[in-house]
Amino acid sequence: MPFSIATWNINSVRLRMPIVERLLVEHAPDVLCLQETKVPDELFPEKAFRKLGYEHIAFHGQKGYHGVATVARRPIEVVEKRRFCEIEDSRHLSVTVRAGGKAILLHNFYVPAGGDEPDPVINRKFKHKLDFVAEMNAIRAEHDEVSGSVLVGDLNIAPLEHDVWSHKQLLNVVSHTPVETENFEAMRLAGNWVDLMRLNVPHEQKLYTWWSYRAQDWEASDRGRRLDHVWSSPNLVPDFTGYEILRLARGWERPSDHVPVIARFDLD
């Protein structure tokens, strides 16, 4: 059974609903995980999603900041809206969804960006980010013969050398500092997660999912970073058939600075 999951930091779901609709019409993923929705739960635009056939909706939001949502064309069941670092800032949502013969536990994450200064002593936002990633060690890739796990989202860290436009120039820039990348990879391995986007892609190949709004011409400069990720439990790797980074979405009208990533599976 073909099954697809899209993940996208939308940077305000209400503001960018036209391009969300475009994604759903043109690509029709089975499940869409959104981050940085910036809307309290009572104002989430459910009707727009239901009109497009996404009748199963879960959200964990707040006014003006952060927020995650998962919408699907098939039933989903909320498992958890976990609070990290004892802060109520709506950065996690997990649901179960059935595909083929498996129950998939799907985590949707929005990791803190961390501010501009990569020093946890003088920058509380950076400390929050490091603490958040440390707590993510508790999120494991649970699986057995009839179940598996997927973790997606804007994880706000580009872990590998070629996940950024310049490894050398970004070593002291938040999202690619050694303390972030080392802790991030240690957390991924501790949870037994597989980085699906790098599974069959050489580490020397550049991969980006984010291009800054600050660039005068994002496409020409191409100074990107891979901040959005798709991970799975090991038992789903044989079912993984590939993924697509929708780079063209960065040029859509009133775009997010992130683009959607769509992962595809063929589940028995």
CB 106 within 8 A of CB 150: yes
| pLDDT for residue 268 is more than 90 | no
Q: What is the pTM of this model?
A: 0.98
> What's the pLDDT tens digit per position in 6-23?
999 999 999 999 999 999
CB 197 within 8 A of CB 204: no
For the chain, percent of residues with pLDDT exceeding 70? 100
| pLDDT for residue 263 is more than 80 | yes
Helix axes 124-135, 178-190, angle to 10 degrees: 20
Three-state DSSP class for residue 15: coil
State mean pLDDT over 126-152.
98
With 0-12 / 13-18 / 19 or more C-beta atoms within 10 angstroms meaning exposed / middle / buried, residue 83 is middle
State mean pLDDT over 156-175.
98
